Homo-oligomer: A and B are copies of this chain.
Amino acid sequence: MFRYPIIIKLHETDAAGLLFFSQQFKLMHDAYESLLERIGFGFAVLIRDKDYFLPIVHAEADFKYPLFVGDRVNIDVSVANIGDTSFTFAYKLTLEDETLVGSGKTVHVTMDKKTQTKISLPSDLRRAVSGQTDNS
């Protein structure tokens, strides 16, 4: 499990006073980016050096508890599934007292940059991502 701590920023809230819903998706992705970087596949590397990219084909989230500016939230990221040409990350957002405030998942496919077609997960990426499954 990879934990990514954040503090809700003013620009992430809206005039209704709470976190704007799409910002949770953005924050989930920030956590995912940080995890990818830790396992050697940061976006700078993916964009510059790899011949594939990892577009999101599906995303979903539940919003269980309103979040205010200044709230401290931990985002726990884990791998929920690894297929042949895709993988799924799962996210849990909790307050410091462990209250669950939100959750979500993102489904990614491995896409060849040139042909724009799906390819099998490269073995080094598969190995790196596998190390992030919940029961590892």
List residues of chain A with CB under 8 Å of any chain B CB.
Answer: 7, 9-11, 13-18, 20-23, 25-26, 29-30, 33-34, 37, 42-47, 53, 55-64, 66, 68-71, 106, 116
List the 7 shortest-distance A-B pairs measured between CB atoms, nearest first: A60-B60, A44-B70, A13-B15, A22-B25, A21-B56, A22-B26, A43-B69
Interface centre among A22, A37, A45, A56 (most CB of B within 10 A): A22
Stoichiometry (number of copies): 4
* B21 engages A29 (CB within 8 Å): yes
* B25 engages A21 (CB within 8 Å): yes
CB-CB nearest in chain B for A15: B13
Q: How far is the CA of A61 from the CA of B52 in the complex (A)?
A: 23
* B11 engages A47 (CB within 8 Å): no
**Neighbouring B residues of A42 by C-beta, 8 Å:** 69-70
* B11 engages A29 (CB within 8 Å): yes
* A21 engages B59 (CB within 8 Å): yes
**Neighbouring B residues of A37 by C-beta, 8 Å:** 7, 70
CB-CB nearest in chain B for A27: B22
Interface centre among A18, A30, A53, A69 (most CB of B within 10 A): A69
* B25 engages A14 (CB within 8 Å): no
